[in-house]
Structure 1
Amino acid sequence: MAKQDIEITTADGTARAGLFRAANGATAGVILYMDAFGPRPALDGMAERLAALGYVVLVPDLFYREAPYGPFDAKTAFANEESAARLRALIAGTTQAMTMRDTGAFIDALTKHGVTGPIGTVGYCMGGARALNAAAAYPDRIKAAASFHGGNLAGDNADSPHRHAAEIKARVYVGTAGVDRSFPPEQSARLAEALRAAEVDHVIENYVGMGHGWCVPDHSVYDEKGAERHWKRLETFFGETLGG
């Protein structure tokens, strides 16, 4: 499966993205919101696996406003003071509001490339909250939103996803690391209550024994068994909601 490198015009510039599709005339799309280390071969491989299930998959560079940057080694970047500081600056400088504006352009890009059906989102790490917020921002197109080891899904910030639960019309799946300081038990309870109150069809599942980042193959805490469990859940979830 070939990767197609495309450029997407946004309100703030030009975002590079990878587009992946199987040769099956897929009309349903998926936006994969990256983790903090940016687009790279590990995410390309994950996008290829999703595309093989019957979706057109887009992996946009959320940090495009700061390009060029990196590359970062997902195993060591936060252990190095210089690269850790750079990563924190990139994350802080790319707000949820920016990504939500960009998501309109991402949806337009998928439409341009043949996606006329429903769209799903999936995000990892910093991408988790963005995947959920995208469902709130674009409820007419996004029918499924998944987060894996996403942080601050029910935090104190105004842009925390739980505050926008009432706008979500999609089904939601949240897979949490067994112990994750960025998404502690009190946030999980707060998110669950917000989704229940908003009558959002949702599942929050705790992957006991997994660390933050377990799904992504180049991450220092990658766990093959846990990652395969995540793939089974994601395949079923998108299959039921997007028709893949």
Structure 2
Amino acid sequence: MPTKTLQIPTADGQADAFAAFPEHDGQHPGVLMYTDGFGIRPVLREMARELAGHGYYVLVPHLFYRHGPAPVTELPEHIGEEARPAVLARLMPLIEAHTADRVLRDADAYLRFLTAQPEVGAGPVAVTGYCIGGLLATRTAAAHPGRIAALAAFHGPVGADGPGSLSRITAEIHFGHAESDVTPEALGELDKALDAAGVGYTSEIYPGTVHGFTMSDTDAFDPAALRLHWDRLLPLLGRTLTRS
């Protein structure tokens, strides 16, 4: 699977990024993939390669490039419960500094870069994200309704900006929630906001999961939930993205 390490020009500097795309020549639908708070690492590269194998050009930017290239902090091979508090203590100031204004400036740059790649076909793109990346993906879709055809977010705080933010989205949506992250009541309120937005969507709690269930290098990993994630994501992209 071809891969590239790239530098994305942004309003605030250069964001390092990883891209994966199909082996065969030609142009492919573009997907902007936002990482979780732990950032670009082997598990995210593998997920990007897996998605690219289904016919997509997948761009994975380093969210915290303003603080240095990835990785901005040393990560263990497995981010278990013993290591997690210390890692989060180092990352939380970076996450808190990543304001909505920064997110939207970066989203402009990422989408401009993605759609300019010679391997990416014309037409709208998709955006997906994990954990905090799910919120970033949702903000990106809300800010670029004409350019984003599909939005998928997994174990992310997608409703953090309030129901009004969802009203700007025109993409078809899948939200896959961890059971530990959202109550049925909160899910009902989110679904009401999505109904009011008038978009096509699925929004569901993945049974028995905890936050981070897609990430195989954490204790939260749930293989069945990861399979369900692919079972939801791939048909969504297949319905919404144009192939050349």
How has the CA–CA distance of structure 1 residues 196 and 90 changed in structure 2, closer, same or farther, with 3 Å as cutoff?
Answer: same
Aligned to 2:206: 207
How many residues end up aligned between the 2 structures? 237
Paired AA for residue 137 in structure 2: A
Alpha-carbon distance, 1:199 to partner: 0.5
Cα 1:177/1:168, change in 2 over 3 Å: same
Q: Is the 8 A contact 1:32 1:59 kept in 2?
A: yes
Distance (Å, rounded) in 2 between the aligned partners of 1:145 and 1:28? 14
Tell me what 1:119 maps to.
125
Unpaired runs of at least 5, structure 1: none
Contact 2:129 2:152 in 1 (8 A): yes
Residue 167 of structure 1 aligns to a residue whose secondary structure is coil
Partners of 1:233 and 1:14 in 2: how far apart?
Answer: 33
User: Is 1:179 aligned to 2:184, yes or no?
Assistant: no
1:140 Cα deviation from its structure 2 partner: 1.3
Q: Deviation per CA, 1:37-85: give whole Å up to 9, x if none.
A: 0101100000001111111100000111111411323623784554322
Q: Give the direction of change, closer, same or farther, for the CA distance of 1:85–1:143 in structure 2 (3 Å limit).
A: same
Distance across 2 between alignment mates of 1:80 and 1:242: 37
* Residue 75 (structure 2) aligns with: 72
Percent of residue pairs bearing the same amino acid type: 39
Report what 2:57 is aligned to: 56
Name 2:159's counterpart in structure 1: 154
Residue correspondence of structure 1 range 4-153 to structure 2 within 5 A: 4-24=4-24, 25-68=26-69, 69-73=72-76, 75-76=79-80, 79=83, 81-114=85-118, 115=120, 116-151=122-157, 153=158
Q: Following TM superposition, where does structure 1 have runs of at least 4 consecutive aligned residues deviating by more than 6 angstroms?
A: none
Q: Normalising by the residue count of structure 1, what TM-score does the alignment of the two structures yield?
A: 0.91
Given the superposition, is the C-alpha separation of residues 77 and 103 from structure 1 closer, same or farther in structure 2, using an over 3 Å criterion? farther
Q: Distance in 2 between matches of 1:64 and 1:161?
A: 27
Partner of 1:219: 218
TM-score (norm: length of structure 2): 0.91
Distance in 1 between residues matched to 2:54 and 2:44, nearest whole Å: 16
